[in-house]
Amino acid sequence: MMTGLILHASAIGLLLTGIYAIAARRHLMRNILGLAVLESGANLLLVAIGYRQGGHAPILVAGQTPGPMVDPIPQALVLTAIVIGFGVLALALALVVRVKENYGTLDNREVAERLRAESREARS
């Protein structure tokens, strides 16, 4: 019971840390780090939900009668989520490299202002 509380609390802690880094910090790199932390929290929560007390890993071993096992479905989900998360991270980092080259800054408000000014110029 206590273990569950700790796991759930730390998953929520990771989620909140990630949301803080995305919403309140200004540096694009920090926002991306926050995204990675947020994703870790979601993954931990999902795997914790699938846990069963005294369960075994969902892998059959030849010559052993299978005991109770933990839920394999969240595990399959999280496995794909981790790999997708890496793809998202890589794409975000590639965009950061381009932003740095084009605007010379990684402050998201400055970049947003530059973008707004550019679109205003394009319209007029």
Partner 1 sequence: MRRHYPQHRVIRPMGHQGNHGRLAASALFLAGLGLLLFNLVASIPFGHAPLHVGRAILERASGETGADNIVTAILLGYRGLDTLGEVTILFTAAAAAGMVLASAGRGQAQGEDAGFIFRTAAWMLFPFLLVVGAYIIIHGHLTPGGGFQGGAILAAAFFTPLLASPASPFNHRVATLVEGFAGLAFIVIGLLGMLGGGQFLTQLFGKGAPGALFSAGSLPVLYLAIGLKVGSELAGLMASVFGGKEKA
Partner 2 sequence: MILLVTLIAIVMLAAAILTVTLRNWLAATAALSVVSLALSVLFALLRAPDVALAEAAVGAGLSGVLLALTLRRVGLWTNNDGKPGDSQ
**Among 60, 66, 73, 90, contact with partner 2 (rule: CB under 8 A):** 90
- Residue 109 vs 120, nearer CB to partner 2: 109
The verdict on 73 binding partner 1 (CB under 8 A) reads yes
- Residue 87 vs 122, nearer CB to partner 1: 87
Number of other residues whose CB lies within 10 A of the CB of residue 39: 20
Pairwise CA distance, residues 89 & 56, whole Å: 32
Taking alpha carbons only, the member of 55, 47, 53, 39 closest to residue 75 is 47
The verdict on 73 binding partner 2 (CB under 8 A) reads no
Sign (positive or negative) of CA dihedral 40, 46, 47, 52: positive
Residues 73/59, Cβ–Cβ less than 8 Å: no
Rg of the chain's alpha carbons, rounded to an integer?
A: 21
Choosing among partner 1, partner 2, none, which partner's interface includes residue 62 (Cβ < 5 to 8 Å by kind)?
A: partner 1
The verdict on 93 binding partner 1 (CB under 8 A) reads yes
Site string for partner 1, 7-46 (x = CB under 8 A): xxx-xx--xx--xx--xx-x------------------x-
